[in-house]
């Protein structure tokens, strides 16, 4: 699940006949973009009417009019799921961007600012990875007093460690490479080396890191909200919807849980696949498969 673990499935999808990796990546990108656009535009166009309670249409099972059914207050579950996904996407994007920024700063600092800083960053990474991710999220959400702000901060400042490690290793490797050594001997400034040699290598890594962190951030946001730390119960986040659905399980209203979770799953899976394919594509070892 983590950034590094995805190296495991090096050749997935590559066995599909005919399409090469570039074409598959474009395909996945199109699917992910369509999903993203659909959710954003759908969530934007969605009138609040749909989210209103309507006691005449309580607890309906899925139909053409209400593809995801309605809940015990007569609210359309499709509209709620869509709204929930937009909330998740917003939190996910913000959190993964902040995390990538953290990872870049700390990874660069560790690799370039000497042994003390390197040691400190490595420690910080070890401390963060020494606790189960959910527990860290609970701790930080608790420290922030919960709420939307608490969740965003918690998700944002907990997703950087694995990417920071990758960046640190990458920069360390680049610094010892011959062309960087040569560049330094030729008297290029640190800034010149950083912007001309290091950055072009790091930008693709960062982009992939961003895309791969994004689904994780969404999943963790949903999880922590589900546990009750996060977004207020009035916001139709997917986590909130699912935790509410638990109260209506025993009455057999399966659609309350199935569809919102499924839409989250599809979203996460699409971006995971996108990130994986991008990663394989920018990696010269696997780009030509």
Does 71 help bind another protein (rule: CB under 8 A)?
no
Question: Which residues in 96-125 contact another protein (CB under 8 A)?
Answer: 123
Minimum CB–partner distance for residue 255 and another protein (Å): 10
Question: Which residues in 188-247 contact another protein (CB under 8 A)?
Answer: 215, 219, 222-223, 226-229, 242, 245-246
Minimum CB–partner distance for residue 210 and another protein (Å): 17
The two most distant CA atoms of the chain are separated, in Å, by 78
Beta pairing partners, 76 = 70
Out of 30, 38, 142, 182, point to the residue binding another protein (CB under 8 A).
142
* Nearest Cα residue to 275 out of 93, 6, 5: 6
* Mask for 270-289, x = binds another protein (CB under 8 A): --xx----------------
Tokens (6 digits) for 85: 């996904």
| Class of residue 141 by CB neighbours under 10 A (exposed 0-12, middle 13-18, buried 19+) | buried
Does 72 help bind another protein (rule: CB under 8 A)?
no
Does 249 help bind another protein (rule: CB under 8 A)?
yes
Minimum CB–partner distance for residue 56 and another protein (Å): 26
Does 145 help bind another protein (rule: CB under 8 A)?
yes
Q: How many CB atoms neighbour CB 65 within 10 A? A: 10
Q: Taking a C-beta distance cutoff of 8 angstroms, is the pair 163, 198 a contact?
A: no
Does 138 help bind another protein (rule: CB under 8 A)?
yes
d(Cα 170, Cα 199) in Å, to the nearest integer? 11
d(Cα 245, Cα 256) in Å, to the nearest integer? 5
Q: Residues in contact with another protein, total (CB under 8 A)? A: 50
- Compute φ and ψ for 250, nearest 5 degrees: -70, -15
Q: The tokens 């207020």 sit on which residue?
A: 232
Residue closer to another protein by CB (options 203, 265) is 265
d(Cα 198, Cα 120) in Å, to the nearest integer? 22
Does 182 help bind another protein (rule: CB under 8 A)?
no
Does 91 help bind another protein (rule: CB under 8 A)?
no
Please report, as ranges, the residues that interact with another protein according to CB under 8 A: 1, 5, 8-12, 15, 123, 126-127, 129-135, 138-145, 215, 219, 222-223, 226-229, 242, 245-246, 249-250, 252, 254, 257-258, 261, 264-265, 268-269, 272-273
């Amino acid at each position: 699940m983590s950034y590094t673990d995805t190296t495991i499935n090096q050749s997935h999808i590559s066995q599909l006949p005919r399409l090469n990796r570039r074409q598959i990546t474009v395909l996945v990108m199109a699917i992910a973009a369509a999903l993203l656009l659909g959710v954003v535009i759908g969530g934007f166009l969605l009138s609040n009417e749909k989210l209103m309670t309507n006691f005449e249409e309580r607890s309906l099972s899925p139909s053409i009019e209400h593809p995801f059914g309605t809940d015990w207050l007569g609210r359309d579950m499709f509209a709620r799921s869509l709204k929930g996904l937009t909330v998740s996407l917003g939190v996910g994007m913000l959190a993964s961007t902040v995390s990538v920024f953290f990872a870049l700063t700390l990874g660069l600092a560790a690799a370039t600012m000497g042994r003390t800083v390197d040691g400190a960053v490595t420690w910080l990474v070890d401390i963060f990875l020494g606790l189960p991710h959910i527990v860290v999220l609970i701790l930080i959400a608790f420290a922030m007093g919960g709420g939307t702000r608490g969740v965003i901060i918690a998700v944002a400042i907990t997703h950087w460690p694995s990417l920071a490690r990758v960046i640190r290793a990458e920069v360390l490797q680049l610094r010892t490479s011959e062309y960087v050594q040569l560049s330094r001997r030729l008297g290029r400034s640190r800034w010149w080396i950083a912007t001309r040699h290091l950055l072009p290598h790091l930008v693709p890594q960062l982009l992939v890191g961003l895309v791969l962190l994004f689904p994780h951030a969404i999943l963790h946001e949903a999880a922590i909200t589900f546990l009750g730390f996060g977004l207020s119960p009035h916001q139709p986040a997917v986590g909130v919807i699912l935790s509410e659905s638990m109260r209506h399980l025993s009455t057999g209203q399966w659609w309350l849980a199935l569809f919102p979770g499924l839409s989250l799953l599809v979203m996460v899976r699409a971006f995971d696949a996108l990130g994986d394919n991008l990663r394989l594509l920018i990696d010269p070892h696997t780009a030509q498969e």
